[in-house]
Amino acid sequence: MAEVLVTPDVEAASVAYLRAGLGVLADKVATKVPAAMPNNMVRVSLTGGSRTALVQDAAQLTVECWSANDPTASMLARTSQAYMLAAAGVTAGGVFVRKVETVGGVQYFPDPDTNKPRYQFTVRWHVRPASI
Amino acid sequence: MAKTKFKWNTAGFEAIRRSPEAVSLLESKVDAAASAAGPGYVGSVVQGVGRGTLGRAIGTVFTGDFKAIRDNAKHNTLMRVFDRLGG
């Protein structure tokens, strides 16, 4: 049997990384939106990706940012994007990110459930799976 | 030592871009992505107009009804099937 290589938990890593980077800009950074959504909310979701090589995984992360008004939501998304792109070559949330690719830039993507302004973007973090 | 000359066969590229095999491959990927996205999502393949890469077949998956639009807004469904369109 070939060596078993497990991709690191990039959702948890990116949440911890963004939480530390955004600080007070975001009331909550998580993978789930609570029933009572805070004013400035950032949600990170693993929306796909692929094992590009035996020891490289391109994890696709979509980051949604809600806020009370359009400019604040946009600023939150653009700042989050800056942090996600800056993760290239550093250890972010305990995971070393080898390379970052943009899949989709920051876009206005209204939320039908909350009617709050939402901006989102998608990146790929290239990370190294580890043997177990 | 003899010099090796290399020349791109641009007509060959053009033929491949427009070949039924290439279109068929694209259709299968688009159909798979639309099916994975669920009901209301539609796949389409059209031949581009013009020479060069403009003339290649273009595959698209999109929301075909209001229910799918709402589903995509809630769950980012199209982003989740994005990889199925890859090579």
CB contact under 8 A, B70 and A60: no
Q: Spell out which chain A residues touch chain B, with contact meaning CB-CB distance below 8 angstroms.
A: 45, 47-50, 60, 62, 64, 103-104, 109-113, 120, 122
Q: Tell me the pLDDT tens digit for each residue of A113-123.
A: 888 999 999 99
Distance in angstroms (rounded) separating the CA atoms of residues A45 and A52: 20
Average pLDDT over residues A23-30: 97
Reported ipTM: the value is 0.80
- Whether B80 has its CB under 8 Å from any CB of chain A: the answer is yes
pTM for the full model? Answer: 0.87
What share of chain A in percent tops pLDDT 90? Answer: 86
Q: What are the pLDDT digits (tens) for B4-57? A: 999 999 889 888 888 899 899 999 999 999 999 999 999 999 988 887 778 888
Cα A13 from chain centroid?
Answer: 9
Q: Which of A26, A37, A115 is nearest to A78 (CA)?
A: A26
- Taking the C-alpha atoms of residue A18 and residue B82, their distance in angstroms, rounded to an integer, is 24
Q: Count Cβ atoms within 10 A of the Cβ of residue A73 and give its class: 0-12 exposed, 13-18 middle, 19 or more buried.
A: buried
Tokens of B9: 């066969």
B66 touches chain A (CB under 8 A): no
The C-alpha of A48 sits at a distance from chain B's nearest C-alpha, in angstroms, of 6
